[in-house]
Amino acid sequence: MDALASHLALKIPKVSIVTIRYQRYFLNGNSVKSFQLPNSSSSSAKLLRRPISAATGAALPHRDHRQEEEEEEVQVRLEMAASDPELKDGRIVSISSAIRVIPDFPKPGILFQDITTLLLDPKAFKDTIDLFVERYRGRGISVVAGIEARGFIFGPPIALAIGAKFVPLRKPKKLPGEVISEEYSLEYGTDKIEMHVGAVQAGESALVIDDLIATGGTLCAAIRLLERVGVHVVECACVIELPELKGRERLGDKPLFVLVTST
């Protein structure tokens, strides 16, 4: 992301579209929508290698040969400078670019959002945690409830950073001792999530975290499970949202914060 950093260092005040390696990112607040561009040498797919002037929209003069070589691997196009008032943080671009999309997994027709490649990128992983921590620090959250399994990856470091306890919400028969459970619907049949009795107390405030929201069924079950014992769910947070599955709508008036919106 050196090229992106050099562009941002020019203090371009607002950016609405960023293109990296044939992947175009539309920034909207603290979220990103990504679209795959044709991987070709056509003029529509080529990326500009020269920074854009925020004042005139024209390309700035070429820099020296060494700087050109440093940008050869990652070339960035910044469009519509000074026109998007909603851009807040460029870190979400590197987060989105670190997530691998695998077609036809786990079954044909599914585009699987693989966050394991994000975990292999220490900077992008740290940026992900930092963005959540910056949002939730100082909001009186005493519980970070992570949904099995990838909520266990993001939840604990967030909980430690904001001074909250981490509570795992697990699939049936995974937690020892006494549990309470909440059922939710699947495409075919039902499933449950469980939580230890006594893990949370009435009156506490909780953040529910998972890696991705699709239909929203698991998040809804997590909310019901916590609210049954008197916990106030402040917000749900996910790294990725699949908006076409309308999971956000199922949450009703419960706030949802996501970093990357997949299309």
Helix axes 122-136, 151-162, angle to 10 degrees: 50
Across the range 101-130, mean pLDDT stands at 96
Distance CA 105, CA 144 (A): 29
Which residues face 77 on adjacent strands?
A: 19
> Helix (H, G, I), strand (E, B), or coil: what is residue 159?
helix
Domains of the chain by start residue, with CATH: 2-88 (no CATH), 127-262 (3.40.50.2020)
Across the range 1-28, mean pLDDT stands at 43
Question: Residue 242 pLDDT > 90, yes or no?
Answer: yes
Question: Residue 37 pLDDT > 70, yes or no?
Answer: no
Query: Which residues, 6+ apart, have CB-to-CB distance to 142 below 8 Å?
Result: 164, 165, 204, 205, 206
Determine which of 12-16, 20-24, 84-88 has the lowest per-residue pLDDT on average: 12-16
Q: What is the DSSP string of 68-87?
A: HHHTSSS-EEEESTT--TT-
Q: Please state, for a pLDDT cut of 90, what percent of the chain lies above it.
A: 63
Distance CA 128, CA 131 (A): 5
A 10 A CB-CB count for 60 gives: 11
Question: Residue 44 pLDDT > 80, yes or no?
Answer: no
Distance CA 119, CA 130 (A): 14
Per annotation, catalytic residue among 150, 170, 204, 248? 150
Q: Give residue 4's pLDDT.
A: 43
Greater model confidence, 110 or 143: 143
150 part of the active site: yes
49 part of the active site: no
Distance CA 55, CA 37 (A): 28
Per annotation, catalytic residue among 73, 178, 187, 244? 187
Tokens 């199922």 belong to residue: 250
Question: Residue 3 pLDDT > 60, yes or no?
Answer: no
Question: Residue 70 pLDDT > 50, yes or no?
Answer: no
> Which amino acid is located at 148 in the chain?
E
Across the range 238-246, mean pLDDT stands at 96
pLDDT averaged over every residue in the chain: 78
Question: Residue 170 pLDDT > 60, yes or no?
Answer: yes
Question: Residue 131 pLDDT > 60, yes or no?
Answer: yes
pLDDT digits (tens, 9 = 90+) for 76-94: 333 332 333 344 688 999 9
Q: Give residue 60's pLDDT.
A: 52
Question: Residue 13 pLDDT > 90, yes or no?
Answer: no
Token pair recorded at residue 124? 């992008």
Q: Give residue 82's pLDDT.
A: 31
Question: Residue 101 pLDDT > 80, yes or no?
Answer: yes
| Cβ contact 183:190 at 8 Å | yes
Question: Residue 127 pLDDT > 80, yes or no?
Answer: yes
Question: Residue 211 pLDDT > 70, yes or no?
Answer: yes
pLDDT digits (tens, 9 = 90+) for 176-188: 999 999 999 987 7
Greater model confidence, 51 or 161: 161
